[in-house]
Amino acid sequence: MKNWKKIELFFMALLIVIMLVAIYALSTIFKEYHDGRAAYSSLDAYVFLPPEPTTNPVNRQPSDAAPSEVPEETFELGAAPVVDFPSLKAQSSDCVGWIYSPQTAINYPLVKGADNDFYQSHMFNGTANKCGAIFLDCLNAGDLSDQNTLVYGHHMKNGSMFASIVGYAQQDYYEAHPAYWVVTPDQNYQVSIFSAFLTDTESDVWQMSFASTDAFGKWLDTMTRRSFIKSDVVPTVNDRVITLSTCSYETENARFVVMGILQPAS
């Protein structure tokens, strides 16, 4: 009986240790989420967001159409955010822009580091945090001048960072959010989305430049054909593409990407 009692006490102690470790791990995760939200929310002081646009019904029916017919809806992106880049750069010299998608969680600074590892585990201001940052591929030009600019962000379980872009697997989500803003110190860009799909780390999605316009055109056609969504946006070889990427969990190296064309705003 004494041996059974000892075994029982051992397993009770082991269970308590496991519970304490689990509680500690969860509290660490929640703290990082909280610290991440607080850090990025503090940047609101440097960004003026215009009133969010709405999807407005517009009657496109002929004048003799039955009045009971439901009008189509059109999306209006609204004005670009106004960003205080000198203040942001004082916090991080790696800051190259700002990305803003109305009516979503995407409202973050864009950074470009010396490699593609640092900002996976560090926030915009360099503080270690698993939320990371929204960052350009280190091999891309910081002025978005490449034919394809790659932008990475974590798929956070609390919906922050780039978690929301997986919504573009659905046509109705795309129709509600067909465009977003990328603002740099030199130019405001409206990004019109033309493709969204699941891929992997070995895909040709990650190509940044092309040997010829013909090669670029064939690549654009391939990217468009893979799309889960239908878009009226047709990219040309004269366009520049920006590709948003986040982890997906169908396979070990799965990535969900959303591709759009950069259109300078007047």
Positions annotated as catalytic residues are 247
**Minimal CA–CA distance to 168: which of 233, 219, 217, 111?**
233
Tokens of 133: 């940052």
CA dihedral for 62, 68, 72, 77, sign (positive or negative): positive
Q: Is 237 exposed, middle or buried (0-12, 13-18, 19+ CB in 10 A)?
A: middle
**Minimal CA–CA distance to 242: which of 177, 154, 181?**
181
Which amino acid appears at position 67 of this protein? P
DSSP state of 47: E
Q: Find out whether 83 and 183 touch, Cβ atoms under 8 Å.
A: yes
Tokens of 53: 């646009």
Residue position matching structure tokens 């780390």: 201
Coarse DSSP helix, strand, coil percentages of the chain, rounded to the nearest 5 percent: 30, 25, 40
